[in-house]
Amino acid sequence: MSEPAAPQPPPEQDHLEVKAVLLLSFMLVLVVASALYVMYARGLFESTQTLVLMSEDSEGVVVGMNLTFSGFPIGRVRRIELAEDGKARIVVDVASKDAHWLRQSSVFTLVRGLVGGTNIRAYTGILTDKPLEDGAVRTVLQGDAGAEVPKLIAAAKDLLESVSTLVSKQGALGASFGNLQTLTARINGPGGALTVLLGGEAEAKKLITALDRTNALLARVDGLAAKADAQVFGEKGVLPETRATVVQLNALLGDARTSLKKVDAVLVEAQAIGANVKDGTSDLKLLRGEVEASLRKVDGLINEINRKWPFARDAEIKLP
Amino acid sequence: MMLMAPWRDLLARTNHSAQKWLVQWWRLAHLGAVLLLLSLSPSSYKRADRLVLARHVYDNTAPIMTSFTLLCALISLVLTRIVTTTALSYGLSQYALQVVIRVLVLELIPLTAALFVALRCTIPDGAELAELKARGDLDTLRRQGINPIHREVLPRVMAGIFSTITLAVLSCVVALLVAYVTIYGFNLAGFAGYTRLFGQVFTPAVTLIFIMKTLLFSLAVSLIPMASALYGSAVNNTRTSAEMRGLVRMFAVILLIEVLSLVGNYY
C-alpha cells in the first residue's frame, strides 16, 4: 500500500465491506451445501436396514459398492470383515424405502466380470413372500468369470496336449496313419488287397492256388454231371427203364384187382354160408331150450321121487 | 593440507546453503504460525483492519471468479465429452462418470484454482509487498506503532486463502453440474444415480484428503509469496531474484501436496 498511514475510510469502503461479507457468505453457503450434498450422497440421511452376506471370499468387494436389484442400486456395502468360521462377512446397508424388494426367498450373488468391478446382485422370485428382516444373514452365491479362465486354460492345455500326443508319430493317430500308409502300399503291391486281407503274399498265393484247384474240380464235377445225366436220362438210362417197370407194374396191379374181385365173390359166398351157420345156431338154441326143459322136468321128477322116498333125509335145520 | 582445502570449501558452502535453506523454511513456518495466531485474535478484526481485509478479499476474488468459473465450465465440458465418448467407444460408459468426477473435481480443479489464484492475486500481492518493503513503508508503519504483518501481510494471506477455497468449491460445483448436463441433459432423471456415484467416489478418506489438499494449496499459494517478499532481501546476493525463488518454492510445495494427495487417494 502506498498510503500506509491509518486510512480514513472513503465512503465506498463501507460498500466494499458489504460486498466482502456477501462474498464470504457465498463461500460459506457453497461449502456447507457441498458438505451436505456429500453427506446426502454418502447416504447419511437415509434410514437403512442391515443385511449380512456371507461369502467364501471378499475379493473385489469394496466398501461403498452397490447392491443392485434389477440393475438398480438399493444398498451399499458398509463393512467387510472376517467371520469366525473364516468366511467373509459383507455388511450391507439397504435403504428402507427399497427394502421391500428383498424377501425371505431372495437370492444374492457375487459376480466378478472379466472387465470392471465385482457386482453384488439380489434376485427375488416371489415378491409376495415375507419381507427380509433387519440384520438377516444370507449366503451369497459366487460366480467368477475370472476364476473360470485359468480352469479353461488348463482344460485347453490338456486338450492340446492330448491332440498333440494323438497326432505325434508315437501317438495313436500317427500310428494309424503309418499303418494306413503301409496298407495302401501293400494294396498297390503284388497280391493287392488279398495280401492285406490274408496277412501275407504266401497266403494270397495259397488262396489263388485253392481257387485254381476249385476251378478244376468244378470242371470235373461238370463232366461227372453230364455223365450222370446220360446215365439217368439217356436212352438206356435209369429213368426209361423205370417207366417200363411202372407200366408192367400197372398190368400186374390190374391182374391183382381181378383176383381181388374173385376173392370178393368168394367172400360173398362165405358170407352166405355164415348166415346159414347163424340160422343153424338159432335152431340149436331152440333145441337147447327144449333139452333144458326136459332136464328141468327130469330134475323135478327126481325131487318128487326123493320126497316120496322113505329114506328121505330130514331136510329141516333145527335151531339149538 | 593444500589438497583438503577445496573439500573444506565445498563442505563450508554446502553447510552454508543448507543453513540458509533451513532458515528460509523456518521463517516461512514462523510466519505461518504468527499469521495463524493473528487470524484467530479478535484484535485483527478492528474496523480499520476489517476494511483492509474486505478490500483484499474482494479484490482477490470477485474479479477473477466469473472468468475462472467460465474457464472451468469449458474445461469440464470438453473433458467430460472426451472421457464419455472414449469410454463409450470402448464399451466402458458406466465408468465414465466416475473418471470425470475423479479427474476433474478431485484432481484438476483444486490445482487449477490454486495456480490461478497464485498467478492472478498472490504473486502480484507478494510483489506489491516487496515493493512496500523496498520503499520502507513497512518500517514507517512500524514506527507508527502498527504491526506491518498485522496490517499488510495478514489481509493478503487471508484473501489468498479465501480466494483459493472459493474458486475451488465454486468450480467443483460448476464442473459437477456441467458433467451432469453433458451426460444426462437437462432433466433430473439421472440425479439419483449421479448422486450415488458421487457418494461412491467421495468416501470419507477421499473427502478428507480433498479438504486437506485444498486447504494446503491455499496456504501454499498465499503464504510463500508473502514470505519471499518479506525475507527476500537476505538473499539478494544470489543469481535469482527473491520472487523467482519464492515462485519455485511455491510450485515445489504445490507439487509435493499434489503427489501426497495422489498417494493418499490411490495407494
Q: Which of A13, A39, A42 to mutate to test the interface with B (most CBs of B within 10 A)?
A: A42
In the predicted model, is pLDDT for residue A320 greater than 50?
yes
In the predicted model, is pLDDT for residue B244 greater than 60?
yes
Average pLDDT over residues A301-315: 74
If you average pLDDT over every residue of chain A, what do you get? 84
Domain assignment present for B36:
no
Average pLDDT over residues B50-75: 91
In the predicted model, is pLDDT for residue B74 greater than 70?
yes
How much is the pLDDT for A83? Answer: 87
In the predicted model, is pLDDT for residue A11 greater than 70?
no
Domain assignment present for B192:
yes
With CB atoms and an 8 Å threshold, state whether A37 touches B195: yes
With CB atoms and an 8 Å threshold, state whether B199 touches A38: yes
Domain assignment present for B28:
no
With CB atoms and an 8 Å threshold, state whether A13 touches B200: no
How much is the pLDDT for A4? Answer: 45
How much is the pLDDT for B262? Answer: 93
Whole-model pTM? 0.65
Partners of residue A68 on adjacent β-strands: A73, A121
Q: Which of B39, B46, B58, B174 to mutate to test the interface with A (most CBs of A within 10 A)?
A: B58
Q: How far is B260 from chain A (nearest CA, A)?
A: 23
Domain encompassing residue B81: 44-266
Domain assignment present for B51:
yes
- Taking the C-alpha atoms of residue A234 and residue B29, their distance in angstroms, rounded to an integer, is 149
Domain assignment present for B29:
no
In the predicted model, is pLDDT for residue B238 greater than 60?
no
Average pLDDT over residues A195-218: 84
Classified as helix, coil or strand, A60 is coil
Question: Domain coordinates of chain A in residue numbers?
Answer: 16-45, 48-150
Q: Which one of B58, B151, B173 has the shortest CB-CB distance to A34? A: B173
How much is the pLDDT for A5? Answer: 44
> Which of chain B's residues have a Cβ under 8 Å away from the Cβ of A6?
48, 144, 146
Q: Which residue of B has its CA nearest to A74?
A: B196
pLDDT tens by residue, A218-259 = 999 999 999 888 888 877 778 888 888 899 999 999 999 999
Residues 206-225 of chain A whose Cβ lies under 8 A from any Cβ of chain B = none
How much is the pLDDT for A299? Answer: 92
The closest alpha carbon to B52, from B160, B165, B154, belongs to B154
- Taking the C-alpha atoms of residue B228 and residue B131, their distance in angstroms, rounded to an integer, is 12
Partners of residue A93 on adjacent β-strands: A50, A76
How much is the pLDDT for B122? Answer: 92
Average pLDDT over residues B74-83: 92
Chain B residues with CB within 8 Å of chain A CB: 47-48, 50-55, 57-58, 61-62, 92, 94-95, 128, 132, 137-138, 140-141, 144, 146, 148, 151-152, 162, 165-166, 169-170, 172-173, 193, 195-196, 198-200, 202-204, 207
pLDDT tens by residue, A74-89 = 888 888 999 888 889 9
How much is the pLDDT for B163? Answer: 94
In the predicted model, is pLDDT for residue A3 greater than 60?
no
Copy the grid coordinates of residue B206.
477421499
pLDDT tens by residue, A137-184 = 988 887 766 666 777 888 899 899 888 888 777 777 778 888 888 888
Q: How far is A59 from chain B (nearest CA, A)?
A: 17
Q: Which one of B47, B53, B141 has the shortest CB-CB distance to A4? A: B141
Average pLDDT over residues B74-96: 88
Copy the grid coordinates of residue B98.
466416475
How much is the pLDDT for B174? Answer: 93
User: Worst-scoring range by mean pLDDT, A112-121, A297-306, B213-222, B231-240?
Assistant: B231-240
Put simply, whether A114 touches B (Cβ < 8 Å) is no
DSSP A213-266: HHHHHHHHHHHHHHHHHHHHHSTTSHHHHHHHHHHHHHHHHHHHHHHHHHHHHH
How much is the pLDDT for A105? Answer: 86
With CB atoms and an 8 Å threshold, state whether B92 touches A76: no
End-to-end CA distance of chain B: 52
How much is the pLDDT for A66? Answer: 87
Domain assignment present for B5:
no
Q: Which residue of B has its CA nearest to A14?
A: B51
% of residues, chain B, pLDDT over 90: 40
The band of B236, judged by pLDDT with boundaries at 50, 70 and 90, is low
Q: Pick the more confident residue, A62 or A258.
A: A258
Tell me the one-letter amino acid at A44.
Answer: L
The number of distinct structural domains making up chain B is 1
In the predicted model, is pLDDT for residue B159 greater than 80?
yes
Put simply, whether A57 touches B (Cβ < 8 Å) is no
Size of interface A-B (CB pairs under 8 A): 102
User: Worst-scoring range by mean pLDDT, A194-198, B128-132, B188-192?
Assistant: A194-198
How much is the pLDDT for B239? Answer: 53
Copy the grid coordinates of residue B122.
498472490
In the predicted model, is pLDDT for residue A2 greater than 60?
no
Burial degree of B196 (CB within 10 A; 0-12, 13-18, 19+)? middle
With CB atoms and an 8 Å threshold, state whether A1 touches B137: yes
> Which of chain B's residues have a Cβ under 8 Å away from the Cβ of A17?
50-51, 54
- For the question of an ipTM over 0.85, the answer is yes
Domain assignment present for B219:
yes
Domain assignment present for B19:
no
Secondary structure in 3-state letters for chain B: CCCHHHHHHHHHHHHHHHHHHHHHHHHHHHHHHHHHHHHHCHHHHCHHHHHHHHHHHHHHHHHHHHHHHHHHHHHHHHHHHHHHHHHHHCCCHHHHHHHHHHHHHHHHHHHHHHHHHHHHHHHHHHHHHHHHHHHCHHHHHHHCCCCHHHHHHHHHHHHHHHHHHHHHHHHHHHHHHHHHHHHHCCCCCCHHHHHHHHHHHCCHHHHHHHHHHHHHHHHHHHHHHHHHHHHHHHHCCCCCCHHHHHHHHHHHHHHHHHHHHHHHHHC
Put simply, whether A60 touches B (Cβ < 8 Å) is no
